[in-house]
Structure 1
Amino acid sequence: MKRKIFFTVIFALFLMTSQVKAIESQSNENVSSEAINQLIQELGNSNTTIKSNAAKTLVDIGDPVVDPLISALNDENYDVRENAALVLGKIGNETAIDPMISALSEQEWDESQEEEEFGRALGTALGSFGEPAVEPLSEFLAGKEYSSSAGHAMAALELIGEPAVPVFVDLLYTELRVESAYHLRMIGEPAVDYLIPLLDDEDPNVQGRAAEALVGTSNPDVVEPLTKLLDDDNEYVRNMAQHALESMENQYPQESFLYGREREFFVEDEKREWLSSLEPIVKGRSEYIMPYFYPDGPVIGYGLYYKGYLTVDLLIGSEVNDSYMAEIYSVIDEEALKNGVEEVPVLFSYTSMPVEDVEKVEIPDVLLGLTTDEGASRILLPAGFMAVILIILVIGLLLSRKK
């Protein structure tokens, strides 16, 4: 009898699960506008979990929510605007590209944090559309000088990568040449073939920026044209050509190595909370990693990157194998577990010393663990920099006492 009841219950659960799946499948096609609008408003909820769940559901529903999300780009709640942009990027329906670029251009960029975060979300989302977004972004940037909105559009193009290279090359002839050279350098090797002809351009500004964009390349085809520029009449062109050639002589591994588990974020508050959970791991003197720092070890930088992981900078030329990186990671992972973070993501990469004769110095805790949205906190700082900071602090104390 008990066995019969058991199988009856199991069969009933199976039927219920099948019905739920059928309802979910049907709801994605016939979900009501009221339900969609409710989900969109939840993107502005003060509870991050509710926001994230709403975003995931909207992504799962897909195309039926695109038009309401486009309307939400003008919502009064800035959280709704920001997260609507990110959801549109994850859905990937190309009809959202032009409205998102319009939202970028219509913004009154008052440099407030909220407006800047919305612009960054638009840039991130537009970058996820790939090649279909290249031409509209190019048209948006035509004839513009640098602004926050132009910066976010260019960041989107960098995310797109190789298909956007011709746009950046064209922008080298405009007021946006400085930023374009930077983004071309970030794209890297796919841009090299486009940049080599520009080293012979009539405009020295274009020549110099093209040489600057080639800093870090290992392509031997650039050696001859760069060498010719070492005797150029323009000092800037000569300096950039020399810098690019020197970077080839001091070539170091371009690979980065990610340990742990990278997280996916559906709303920005998720990422912000995640970054906050990582901050205690890198704050203070981080004694657990100091034995690996130069000159005793290969590490010259350790910090928190805004994309959601810790970074370990390894000195160029260091003999670091997989087992050694795994050893460093295990030390960081152990510290992360103490702070409740499992499988903490850590990115290892190679770089050079920021200045010559960098020394390890005692750094006040208040100056350690500082983070920004566009950079990382660092443990190792030049001694000269610290001297200036300490002088400023002393002068400030003396002035405060006089008051």
Structure 2
Amino acid sequence: MKITSAQVFVGGPGKNYVTLKIMTDQGVYGLGDATLNNRETLPAAYLQDYLIPALIGMDPRRSEDIWQFFYRGAYFRRGPIAMAAYGAIDMALWDIKGKIAGLPCYDLFGGKSRNGAMVYAHATGADLEDLMDSVQHFVDDGYKAVRVQCGIPGMPSASYAVPEEKGSSTEYMTNFSGIRPKVETWDTGKYMRYMPQALADIRERFGPDLHILHDVHHRLTPREAAAFAKDVEPVDLYWLEDPTVADDQDALKLIRQHSTTPIAIGEVFNSIWDCNKLIENELIDFIRVAATYGGGITQLKRIIDLAGLHHVRTGFHGAPSHSPISMAAQYHLNAWAPNFGIQEYLVLGTPECDALFPHDHLMENGMVYVSDAPGLGVDFDESEATKYSYSAGSHPVVRLQDGTLWNY
């Protein structure tokens, strides 16, 4: 069996999804996702100009050797651009192998460990009252876990994942349009004085059974993160996400020394080498590496196995920057992983997205039920793809009130 061709498509409904389709001489094809949010043309070009020419003629069943060929053979290793491209190839090869075997990918990993996987929704509000309404919406919709973000009084612009005005709190998405980044303003003192009580109010309102998650999005120093994690211990968060930048991994020991609040980190990581020490030293409770940025299924399986040795559970990234192909890869890993924790979930199931990526995966009452179709269980309609083209965008940037650039 040989790879005969591969094609890259860029575009989608509201997002620049980077979709890879690999064809074989037996007519079986596989799909992968190389979407690198707001830098989408870079992995697409790497695939088209460098990787696809080398793929032609390879045996798609040899996914491990192909992964090593590109990773070790590149000399300059890792980085989000390369790993997103490798991840797309790896997903597509697993998709092909599942179709050859007539089995869903989770069966190739070792079979299901659970029937359904818990997901969490994103509740947000311009203020705390608005956030409470958003949380209630998702609770009424059957979610058992909700991430909560709200505006901070006195902060001159909306903080991370918070709308400027009330009323869009159940469908809010950060605006990435335009190549020049939007600027947000951050005030650590106001945040640390306000947010612990806001989280306590949410817990009091919704009771002990709702899983409450909160994302700091790298905005605190290690000392500040340790103090914040200690302050919110009574809330019993399901996790505190990215409380500080993880570049200085030893600094995360400070949080562990001062708090038992569970910590989730890793959505910007792109290899096992970004998280191995955090896992081995048990400085985190959930690992957030995504199937695309993390180099695909082959790499994530290694991370999952390492995490399982150290009481660390999965909590894969699931922002709209991941297409239904990448999410499907994670659904299959979630079904199998013995140390599964939770899956981030933002609604992708618009009619336009479902038309571009037909699938039978089901999200119901806060749980995802993976399809039993062979491979990843997602298809790609090339005729629908012609409706979309690339549109440049950028993440916002953050500045302190005096103008200093800060961590997004």
If the length of structure 1 is used for normalisation, what is the TM-score? 0.29
Counting helix residues as a fraction of each chain, which structure ranks higher?
Answer: 1
Of structures 1 and 2, the one with the larger relative CO (CA 8 A, separation 6+) is 2
If the length of structure 2 is used for normalisation, what is the TM-score? 0.29
